[in-house]
Amino acid sequence: MSSGKPVTLRQMRSGDKGKIIEVQGGPGMVRRLDALGIRPGKKIIKISSMLMRGPITVQVGHTRVAIGFGMANRIIVETE
């Protein structure tokens, strides 16, 4: 199914799909992302990103969420 190598969410291109394999960060950040539906095992699609460290928009399930550049850099995804 997934044949890609692990990359950070920030490194993915707009339109890329993958499965979250790890969320690196403290317990507070992990809880916050979990509340948004961003947790290991979930499918994710990168919708868009802004230039120069702006927010990154992703789709998890039927929900679109914008997350910060720093958080996106700590989400490890196995691309499809």
Half-sphere exposure of 21 (CA within 13 A, CB side): 13
Sheet of strand 75-79: strand arrangement: 6-8, 75-79, 17-23, 43-49, 56-60, 63-67
**Element holding 35 (H helix, E strand):** helix 27-35
Task: Kindly report, residue by residue over 7-66, the tens digit of the pLDDT.
Answer: 999 999 999 999 999 999 999 999 999 999 999 999 999 999 887 788 999 999 999 999
Task: Kindly report, residue by residue over 57-67, the tens digit of the pLDDT.
Answer: 999 999 999 99
| CA distance linking residue 12 with residue 72, whole number of Å | 10
Q: Is the pTM of this model over 0.85?
A: yes
Ordered by where they begin, the domains of the chain are 6-79 (2.30.30.90)
Cβ contact 2:77 at 8 Å: no
